[in-house]
Amino acid sequence: MRYALAVAVLVAGLAGCQELPNDTRKIKMLTVEQAKALTQREGTLYLDGLTTLSDEVAKALAQHKGGLSLDGVTALSDEAAKALAQHDGRPRLSAYLHLDGLTTLSDEAAEALAQHKGGLSFNGLTTLSDEAAKALAQHEGGPHLNAHLYLNGVTALSDEAAKALAQHEGDLSLDGLTALSDEAAKALAQHKGGLHLDGLTTLSDEAATALRANPNIGLPYYFTR
């Protein structure tokens, strides 16, 4: 009886694996068992068809050794964020976590995700609280070539948030910003890694001068002269 039960469980698990399409972008829903099966696949998992993510499925996907793209997910609980923060795609260089579908991120979730060992992308966020900025500034990403922090949807940044993000060490992208105060620009000019500000349309001469002084900062052409 025990043997028959074990075989039945194994067959059910294999059937669950076979139901998953090769093109993971087509997946709209995932059970915990299916998520565990997917983590055995090589390379980046593109699961952009998922719009929701349970805490349990997040814990399962966090075991994947490779990149995780979850750009269709529009909301994330703090518990799911804590689970995904444990994702470590090493030894692969593509050990990133992309959540570009999120439009809001709690301060607690930001604090958790800042511990992720790889690149992070939150391009769906249009605003960023000072506390979330302080949390994400602690993101180090680990020993990966693409340990980036992308916040290209953020359209405005307070001086306090700018001062916090200036402490971030790594590649930082804020291409959604169209303007910066002088104080914010001077703070970001101290950023030690690559900084992308290609969406800026308005800067004072003082702000432009401060940013130009840092060769690691990318600016629109008309601010580089």
Express each pLDDT in 36-81 by its tens digit: 999 999 889 999 999 999 999 999 999 999 999 999 999 999 999 9
13 in a structural domain: no
210 in a structural domain: yes
List of residues 6+ apart from 194 with CB closer than 8 A: 170, 171, 172, 216, 217, 218
9 in a structural domain: no
- pLDDT for residue 220 is more than 70: yes
Q: What is the pTM of this model?
A: 0.88
16 in a structural domain: no
161 in a structural domain: yes
Supply angle C-alpha 82, 80, 51, rounded to 5: 145
- Is omega for the bond preceding 91 within 30 degrees of 0, making it cis? yes
pLDDT tens per residue, range 156-198: 999 999 999 999 988 999 999 999 999 999 999 999 989 999 9
pLDDT band per the 50, 70, 90 thresholds, residue 219: very high
Q: Which domain holds residue 182?
A: 23-223
The tally of domains found in the chain comes to: 1
pLDDT score, position 223: 87
Asked if 136 and 110 count as a contact pair (C-beta separation under 8 A), the reply is: yes
pLDDT tens per residue, range 137-166: 999 865 545 579 999 999 999 999 999 999
Task: Give the CATH number, domain containing residue 139.
Answer: 3.80.10.10
